[in-house]
Structure 1
């Protein structure tokens, strides 16, 4: 008579949908908070917090503080990856949503440099760091929970659900800034820009209610019952699964770093260098985000048919092809062309982003999955956080010629193409992605 535990019961379709919606809504609100900082770094923080005599230096300083959040994300990935693989996915997601909501609301209450001097940028950067720690643990948990509840034949679409939180967060944050940008300049600087940040407090209540309704992964419950958890999952990922870690980071680079180039940097470039109106540029990001939702839904379906790796490669090639045309359209200063350029760039890089969760989940066995996904995404996030800064520097080095940031986007896209080609060789062969079947830890 076998002593092996019986397989964990598979979640019902209703369970999978509830978890996917909970992951999506929570992630959307998390990214709303995180994206606010990127928009404010382009429009507000460079003037009110990082006050210098040189506008370029001030913008570089604001983008450097923006990058701090990405540097902090691996710390969040390490902390919450370990906890997620040890005590559970759901608990960590409750903690991260509270952290980022509270921190974002506090940014809206922070006095500027006129009131408290050097303490203003210091405290702002500290809050950004805490925000990065929370986001560093958020996405990996949301993807893990969604994938581990998903039926095998619909894994691509469920893995794409947390990704849809990104454009929805963009719509909410850009829309909020678009509304307050209509205020007179003095009112915008005095109090208007703070309103989107203060909205994080009521949004936190909504996100927390939704997250509390999400059940723990049955697959993790099975690991717990079998005592099959890794004792040091982060260490095991780094020492034994490092090829998957690097390839996972490369596959995620375009969806994160390319996005910040096509949004955060483009907002600065279009409003500063090209002198375009802020409402036009923010409106372009809104249109792009709306189109991105459809691309992400389509990408999840394509992953189910062709595989996540092939979709990643196709999206990377498409992004490389449209990188320079995106900037050519911006340089026309024509409103329709500007909206088309931003939308085209974001749509193409969203193809590999749609399948990133599915691909990363396949690179790591269940006992290491939260840690592996979180660390991979956050390695990509470190580089991504510096993309607006690097794009600003190469633009200045090229004398303001837009081909320089365009080629930077091409380079980012090619990193993702190569990673997508290598990824299938590193898929974990001995694990289930959902609760259907027996979990067998790697030897």
Structure 2
């Protein structure tokens, strides 16, 4: 395509990915807020409030459990037929399931059928979301100019912050309603409103062309017939390292957005839910600036140093943050959550947007990114909700165990940054991965190796290709 057409498609790709990210994280942030504060009363028996909270977070985790299967299914299709149409399918599935949550009957109305229906829709929501973010990540990395790939790849993830910000603002507005009205019909409004974002995203994506990298695969007849086999043979190293990189970013995000709110609004501490929700709001507002900023910094300083800064920051921040949350001061809690989301989490998210696609070769990039993102989402994000709620119930709201859990996630990610090569400016037309697991003659994995030429210094003239 000529330059004018390329720039037009770059704008469409950015807008398309941003709207999809906004929809996904509006739905997931809203679901997390509702889970932390009201879903235990709406969809479960209230005879045992602590167990109702654990059950509510269990269904929250079900959505994460479905995501790897969605990533596996749609990622395989994305590497075989292209990125564009998969993104159309995922937005319909994910958004449609979210909209239907808004019309579900409650436990009081239909009993046990209520949580069963919620599980089904949560599974569909997670199945669609399993490839949505991976697709947006790959789409932008493959469209972006090489020397500014970190910045452009991070722009759609401003949609994550916008979606989270919109969810927290909407939830705060709903908390101003009389509680009876909120519990009877007010909670449904945000889920029903997601239909508008679906229609906008569909209209934009219908006008988008396929990415330059995938077009080159078609042109040279290099499309993988069995990308699933490739990812479990050649691509395992990138998936393993990618999971490690995501543990603190993904797990920390959901701990600050949901577990922290459940912790500070519990009977033991008793903060006002409407006030502390502003922590998520301000954190997302900070993220609108910190995500593209750290993405741009990764273009100048490298992906690894910027990513490592965020991981180490969370490592140091975990214990002071949970201690301060335990003090019962609402303004302090708002500040702690805002810094946790806006700085600790998003300092990793910014460089990650380009880094994950750069880890994988062109033939199985979509599937590789999807697997790294979604397996980590189960281990970090989904487990954070279930384990965090269980820890709150079992320890009577002990902040130390939550701090230990977050510190562990941050330590895993910090260690993972020493296993990944510098991928800045890597040529995305390359077939081999930046990280690979070498095997012995017997086929047993023996070590993780850094692929030669993966660093920016080794890409040479090839780094100028898109």
- State the TM-score, normalized to the length of structure 1: 0.93
Who is 1:5 aligned against?
A: none
CA contact (8 A) 2:17 2:156 kept: yes
Structure 1 residue runs of 4 or more that deviate by more than 4 Å after TM superposition: 8-11, 427-432, 434-439
Which secondary structure state, in structure 2, belongs to the residue aligned with residue 372 of structure 1?
Answer: helix
Contact 2:146 2:464 in 1 (8 A): no
Alignment partner of 1:288 is 2:283:
yes
Q: Is 1:376–2:372 an aligned residue pair? A: yes
> Could you tell me which of 393, 418, 421 is aligned with 2:415?
418
Aligned partner (choices 315, 323, 327) of residue 322 of structure 2: 327
Q: Kindly indicate whether residue 301 of structure 2 is the aligned counterpart of residue 317 of structure 1.
A: no
Residue in structure 1 matched with residue 363 of structure 2 by the alignment: 367
Judge which range, 96-105 or 24-33, deviates more.
Answer: 24-33
Q: Give, in whole Å, the separation in 1 of the partners of 2:357 and 2:211.
A: 14
Structure 1 CA distance for aligned equivalents of residues 250 and 257 of structure 2: 11
CA displacement 1:350-379 (0-9 Å, x = unmatched): 111111121111211111100000000001
1:182-261 correspondence runs (5 A): 182-261=176-255
- 1:332 to partner: Cα distance: 2.6
In structure 1, C-alpha distance between the alignment counterparts of 2:259 and 2:169, rounded to whole Å = 18
Q: Do the aligned residues in 2 keep the contact of 1:149 with 1:435 (CA within 8 Å)?
A: no
Change (3 A) 1:437 1:335: closer
Say whether 1:146 aligns with 2:140: yes
Unaligned runs of 5+ in 1: 1-7
Q: Which residue of 1 aligns with 2:151?
A: 157
Q: Equivalent residues in 2 for 1:41-440 (5 A)?
A: 41-272=35-266, 273-346=268-341, 347-383=343-379, 384-424=381-421, 426=435
What is the SS of the residue equivalent to 1:199? Answer: helix
Q: 2:446: which partner in 1?
A: none
Asked whether the equivalents of residues 77 and 133 of structure 1 are also in contact (C-alpha less than 8 Å), the reply is yes
Give the TM-score taking structure 2 as reference length. Answer: 0.88
Residue correspondence of structure 1 range 21-40 to structure 2 within 5 A: 21-40=15-34
8 Å contact kept, 2:57–2:389: no
Question: How far did residue 437 of structure 1 move?
Answer: 6.9
> What are the Cα deviations for residues 4-43 of structure 1, in whole angstroms up to 9, with x where unaligned?
xxxx878744432331222112211122122221111112
Partners of 2:384 and 2:465 in 1: CA distance: 42
Q: CA deviation at 1:52?
A: 4.3
Please, what is the CA RMSD of the aligned residues?
Answer: 2.1
- The answer to whether the 8 Å contact 2:70/2:129 transfers is yes
Deviations 1:126-164 (A, max 9, x none): 100000000001011111110001111100011112322
Counterpart contact for 1:148–1:217, Cα < 8 Å? yes
- 1:250-270 CA-partner distances (Å, limit 9, x unpaired): 111222111001111111111
1:365/1:430 contact within 8 Å kept: no
Report if aligned partners of 1:26, 1:211 keep a CA contact under 8 Å in 2. Answer: no
Provide the C-alpha distance between the structure 2 equivalents of 1:261 and 1:380, rounded to a whole number of angstroms: 14
Gaps of at least 5 residues in structure 2 are 422-433, 436-449
Question: How has the CA–CA distance of structure 1 residues 398 and 117 changed in structure 2, closer, same or farther, with 3 Å as cutoff?
Answer: closer
Distance 1:203 1:24 in 2: 11
Number of equivalent positions: 431
For the residues of structure 1 that align with 2:50 and 2:184, how far apart are their CA atoms? 22
Q: Deviations over 1:223-251 (max 9, x none)?
A: 11211011111221112211111100111
